[in-house]
Amino acid sequence: MNVFRLTGDIAHLLAIILLLMKIWKTRSCAGVSGKSQMMFALVFTTRYLDLITNFISLYNTTMKMIFIASSYGTLYLMFLKFRATYDSNHDTFRMEFLVVPVAGLSFLVNHDFSPLEILWTFSIYLESVAILPQLFMISKTGEAETITSHYLFALGSYRALYILNWVYRFYFEGFFDLIAVVAGCVQTVLYCDFFYLYITKVWKGKKLTLPA
Amino acid sequence: ACRKKAKDEL
């Protein structure tokens, strides 16, 4: 564990808490993409199947359980409890355009052709693009609530911090995982446009709106 | 190589 990974994990946890808080406090999931959230639940489910097969640390197990539980908690709030507030008209990104190619790629490019490993690879690839329906939704409506933009910033920062973690691990532990690194870079790049808007607008106290 | 170590990441 290094400082980059720890802050990355904390940013990830913070993002999830921010999203749950936004939905709970405003009693609304307006502006949140249910499709991105469904894919995140799928990401955690397929990646953390190793909870059953091997134990790493109490920290690892606890965080994994929190991530899985919170992703399904978010789905529960969005699709059951506050279903009426779900903005499905603006959540029109086609999930199959991401899930199908990602599934295909995880069969073709992986570290080991075994079920758990393919599912892990699938989750890594899917995570890298799972935010697209959310970003697409913001581009359709042209704006995002400030709390939603904080959520996205924390969520995007997490993988950027993981890149620093991988650089650190490469130099100090001789560890390198090409699949995770490439997917992590793709994931971070997808947020760049959002990061720019967030820093130039939200940090100056304005609402996140897209240029017309 | 070293793939197994990634399993300690989240």
- Mean pLDDT (whole number) for A145-165: 98
Per-residue pLDDT at B1: 42
Q: A212 pLDDT band (50/70/90 cuts)?
A: confident
Q: E strands along chain A, which residues?
A: 143-144, 208-209
Put simply, the answer to whether B8 touches A56 (Cβ < 8 Å) is yes
Total length of chain A? 212
How far is A80 from A12, CA to CA, in rounded Å? 24
Put simply, the answer to whether B3 touches A9 (Cβ < 8 Å) is no
Put simply, the answer to whether A12 touches B2 (Cβ < 8 Å) is no
A39: closest CA of chain B, how far (Å): 16
Beta-carbon contacts below 8 Å between A and B: 30
What is the percentage of chain A residues whose pLDDT exceeds 90?
96
Per-residue pLDDT at A125: 98
Per-residue pLDDT at A211: 83
A10: closest CA of chain B, how far (Å): 11
Per-residue pLDDT at A103: 98
- Mean pLDDT (whole number) for A121-141: 97
Alpha carbon distances (Å) from A83 to A10, A21, A76, A121: 29, 16, 9, 32
B7: closest CA of chain A, how far (Å): 8
B10: closest CA of chain A, how far (Å): 7
User: Chain B 1-10, CB below 8 Å of chain A: which residues?
Assistant: 1-3, 5-10
- Candidates A153, A180, A146, A196; CA nearest to A11 is A153
Of the CA atoms within 13 Å of residue A212, those in its CB half-sphere come to 0
User: Is-contact A156 A12, C-beta < 8 A?
Assistant: no
Chain-wide mean pLDDT for chain A? 96
Put simply, the answer to whether B3 touches A57 (Cβ < 8 Å) is no
Put simply, the answer to whether B8 touches A57 (Cβ < 8 Å) is yes
- Mean pLDDT (whole number) for A159-176: 95
Per-residue pLDDT at B3: 52
pLDDT tens digits along A43-55: 999 999 999 998 9
pLDDT tens digits along A76-111: 999 999 999 999 999 999 999 999 999 999 999 999
Put simply, the answer to whether B2 touches A64 (Cβ < 8 Å) is no
Contacts of B5 in chain A (CB under 8 A): 173, 175, 177
Nearest to B10 among A67, A111, A112 (CB): A67
Put simply, the answer to whether B2 touches A175 (Cβ < 8 Å) is yes
Residue A35 tokens read as 């499709």
Q: B2 pLDDT band (50/70/90 cuts)?
A: very low
